[in-house]
A and B are shown apart, each in its own frame.
Chain A
Amino acid sequence: MKIAVCIKRVPVMEVKFAITADGSRVDEAGLKYDINDFDLWAIEAALQLKEKNGNVGEVAVISLGPDAASEQIRKALAMGADRGVLLKADSIPADGLAIARALAAEIKEGGYDLVLFGRIAIDSMNQMTGPMVAELLDLPCVTNVFKLDITGTAGRAERALEGATEVVEFPLPAVLTIDDGLNKERLPSLKGIMAAKKKPLDVKPAQLGDAKVTVHKMALPPERAAGRILGDSSAAVPELVRLLQTEAKVL
């Protein structure tokens, strides 16, 4: 079984972000980066499928991003993926379709049985690249997958909706976007880290094309005004209810 996993280098979110003086983008100074959480679960899904298959086949990791994204590809290789491809782009466009076109061009001739994405990239929060790639390659696509069974060339998945679940059947080859709940990712072992250094990592320019969606400006959301502590017991409840009625007007 041949599986491609598309991953993204994203900032670690436990920071206070700043916007550049011209208001055009997030200030990257001091940011740390990692693989997007949902993409880690997609990598894990691919590795488990390969292991279940008697470790036959290949897991390729593809990332579109700057040179530095090779760090994230190496981490995926250390987790157990077999080879990496960096589609080099100095900046990642806001237009999901531009990204999808570049990824589809790379995936097209790969002969993959499955192409996995994380459900959403937590930096751009676009949540569209996976189904766009599927459409460009005319492949079946199931999004938000949190349960997955593959038998031969038939797949059965459960996808998460708001407060409900859909059970979906689909044939392979297919594109899936992986949600939380499918599995927890493994950590790279020391042996894996050593092995990753020798695994192939191709670098080629991303074929992005034109973008119809662009960033007009970036801003930080207004700070929430400091809240009030009303008390330390149920004695504060009457005051809370009064405020919900008269000030917040939600009761």
Chain B
Amino acid sequence: MANVLVFAEVRGGDLRKVALEAVTAGRALADLSGGGSVHALLAGDVGIGAKAELLAQYGADSVLVLEHAGFAMYNPEALAATVAQQLGSGTYGYALFSATAQGRDLSPRVAAKMGVGLAADLTGFTVDGGTVLGQHFNMNGKVIATLALAGTPALLSVRPAAFQPAAAPRALATTSITSAADPSASRVKVVELKQGNTGKLDLNDAPVIVAGGRGLKAPENFKLCEDLADAFGNAAVGATRAVTDEGWRPHSDQIGQTGRNVSPNLYVAVGISGAIQHLAGMRTSKTIVAINKDKDAPIFKIADYGIVGDVFEIMPALTAAVKAAKAQG
């Protein structure tokens, strides 16, 4: 039996969907290790404790709440000290983080502070006699390594969207904790958070992604992708590196080796040829649709469904058909 400490990621005063995924993954890990408890660590500005209820709904047996104005922004140094202090209490077998920009910044700090192992960006795991065996991509996503993680506590981070949040309601139990280090004394200070795509789904949260490439020919033609995304209603718009390098779309929308890794249920590639660097970021999508005029484009080798033709003719028809299908159903 091993208890699991789950770091619940907060941004801009809100829990992120990845926090619920992490609690679900933590629940699975606790169950695989013989039924330990899941404790979620929730840190943020005064008032963040109101989000604890949601963590309990997804299987957190207890929520450690750290409320302090010094955590209104991501505060890596004070957070790392606090997570390490909680883990050092000896009650935990594992700590689990989201493999996001925040989780991949925080978890290595904790691992190094404590001198314990970290297996990052896992897409799945099993437990074999106390050892976690976790699946982790290597070689730009072209090889899957199974990593063995020894020692206690052991740290792991899970890839966004690899675990779908599953309701597992618990009675809400919270414990107030304090920071292990003066939050105002941190040397690294986040002074501003610039939210992109305000009000829109983030690429890692969206079940459907409509991504555009150079085949769209001009920045204004991304409206075709936005219209299709709106028709789906649960979609985000992404882009290739060629497009973000041209400045047609913000850098944060870039999918691929140098951008975001995504694995939505449906990925619609519009005017994307499928350079290896792009495929590295989206090849784990469940269903891939490609629309491109070049029948030899590499994207068709990994697409489940393809239409070889003119995106400007096909996209409006697809948008209308998706709208009609949604209206029916």
Contact = CB atoms under 8 A, between A and B. Distances in A.
Interface of A: 11, 13-14, 16-17, 19, 26, 37-38, 94-97, 100, 122-136, 140-144, 146, 159-171, 179-181, 211-221, 224-234, 236-238, 240-241, 243-245, 248, 250-251
B147 A224 contact: no
A81 to B, nearest CB: 22
B295 interface: yes
B82 to A, nearest CB: 14
Given A162-B203, A212-B151, A218-B144, A135 B112 contact: yes
Given A143-B104, A227-B306, A215 B112 contact: no
Nearest to A139: B187
A143 B105 CA distance: 6
B194 A165 contact: yes
Interface stretch (B29-37, B61-69, B133-141, B211-219): B133-141
B117 A212 contact: yes
Nearest to A184: B245
Given A221-B142, A227-B300, A227-B305, A163 B190 contact: no
B146 A131 contact: no
A240 B307 CA distance: 9
A97 B307 contact: no
Q: Which of A100, A129, A240 has the largest number of chain B CB atoms within 10 A?
A: A240
A17 B142 contact: yes
A63 B135 CA distance: 27
Interface string B290-310: 100001000011111111111
B192 A227 contact: no
B187 A127 contact: no
21 contacts: A97-B116, A125-B136, A143-B101, A146-B251, A160-B252, A161-B100, A161-B101, A163-B204, A163-B253, A164-B11, A165-B196, A168-B188, A180-B251, A213-B119, A215-B145, A218-B146, A233-B313, A237-B318, A238-B321, A243-B305, A251-B232
Contact of A213 (B104, B117, B288, B304): B117
B60 interface: no
B148 A229 contact: no
Given A134-B109, A241-B321, A229 B308 contact: yes
A13 B115 contact: no
Interface of B: 11-12, 73-74, 76-77, 80, 100-102, 104-105, 107-109, 111-113, 115-121, 133, 136-151, 154, 160, 187-197, 202-204, 207-208, 232, 241, 251-254, 257-260, 265-266, 276, 280, 283-284, 286-290, 295, 300-310, 313-314, 316-318, 321-322, 325-326
Contacts of A164: 11-12, 193-196, 252
Contacts of B150: 212-214
B146 A215 contact: yes
Contact of B74 (A11, A141, A166, A217): A166
Nearest to A163: B202
A170 B189 contact: yes
Contact of A128 (B107, B253, B276): B107
A216 B146 contact: yes
Contacts of B318: 234, 237, 240-241
B143 A13 contact: no
A244 B149 contact: no
Contacts of A100: 108, 112
A11 B289 CA distance: 30
B223 to A, nearest CB: 17
A237 B228 CA distance: 13
B145 A167 contact: no
Contacts of A14: 276
Given A128-B104, A163-B252, A248 B304 contact: yes
Contact of B140 (A13, A127, A212): A13
A63 B309 CA distance: 47
B289 A244 contact: yes
Q: Which of B107, B290, B300, B307 has the largest number of chain A CB atoms within 10 A?
A: B307
B182 to A, nearest CB: 15
